[in-house]
Amino acid sequence: MKSSPLVSHIYTADPSAHVFDGRVYIYPSHDRETDIADNNLGDQYDMVDYHVFSLSQIGGPVTDHGAVLKLEEIPWASRQLWAPDAAKKNGKYHLFFPAKDQSGIFRIGVAVSSVPYGPFVAEPNPIEGSYSIDPCSFVDDDGSAYLYFGGIWGGQLQCWQSNRFDPEAKEPSGSGPALQPRAAKLSEDLLSFDGEVQPIVILDDKGKPLSADDHDRRFFEAAWMHKRDGVYYFSYSTGDTHYLVYATGDNPLGPFTYRGRILEPVIGWTTHHSIVEYLGKWYLFYHDASLSHGRNHLRCVKVMEIFYRRNGTIYLK
């Protein structure tokens, strides 16, 4: 597997790709140089703004639309603008993003623009009831919209098992159920949750929830949702084992049945992705740390075509 960075003048990661107005728009995080030592809480990923990129042809020129939202423009945020996503509804474009609030707890905010390339104006407060990281927005065929989120370790998902923030809580271990990603239906204006946050259940082929010690298959971070031929594909990173995997279901809120791997571990510690259809083909946008020669917090966005068998399983050529 060989793919060149789509962007090389700055470091980019966690690409969320969407087709808006006939063009592919990519909403990544923007890595920057820091002198913070690597640690499991991810303090070295100390990003302070978001850029938007677009292209009209896969493999063609990429336009950098510049910094469309900065940390100092978000009233409630203190640091760490991690992986974002975007959605279009009712003629407006919404950028969903995680950041630590003034008390150091990750929340998810939303910023709005009249055009897909920004700039975006942040709401004064995070989404009420939101927590953790890696928001993924999905607007279904009937116009219903959902937000998926969650990340373990530095993403603090393990701190919310009791629906209250417990900074001392630990990730589950052993043969019991794995910690599950979260989802909530979004309001009509995409600015709030329309209902309770709920866990997303991922099952094995026997209908049993994946266990906490099943590190090759259970959720860690980087949720993504796409729909193909009426099937909902929930894909994610296994985190500490570095696979991109996926599960399928017939409802956007699950349950989902594990189906297999999409991508093996890449150069660098993290892996994060999106999947989008464009001009009749399906593409996987992902990142690695090849541009920085393996420096984990300095990554680059790449893209490759993916394929589907008749039974709906994903494969690479």
Residue 191 lies in a domain: yes
Question: Contact 148/140 with Cβ under 8 angstroms?
Answer: no
What share of the chain in percent tops pLDDT 70? 99
Residue 2 in domain: no
Counted domains in the chain: 1
**Is 5 domain-assigned?**
no
Amino acid at 179: L
Q: Mean pLDDT across the stretch 300-309?
A: 98
Cβ atoms 222, 237 nearer than 8 A: yes
Tell whether 6 is covered by a domain: no
Task: Provide the pLDDT confidence category of residue 163 given band limits of 50, 70 and 90.
Answer: confident
Asked, for residue 98, whether it belongs to a domain, the answer is yes
Is 248 contained in some domain?
yes
The answer to whether residue 162 scores a pLDDT higher than 90 is no
Strands 256-263 and 273-278: unpaired
Contact 164, 157 (CB under 8 A): no
Q: What is the mean pLDDT of the chain?
A: 97
The pLDDT tens digits of the residues spanning 16-73 come to 999 999 999 999 999 999 999 999 999 999 999 999 999 999 999 999 999 999 999 9
Domain-embedded: residue 3: no
Domain that holds residue 285: 11-315
| This prediction's pTM | 0.97
Contact 107, 98 (CB under 8 A): yes
Give first-to-last CA distance, the chain, whole Å. Answer: 9
CATH number of the domain that 145 lies in?
2.115.10.20
Closest alpha carbon to 122 in 191, 51, 183, 26: 191
Asked whether residue 60 is assigned to any structural domain, the reply reads yes
Catalytic residues: 14, 221
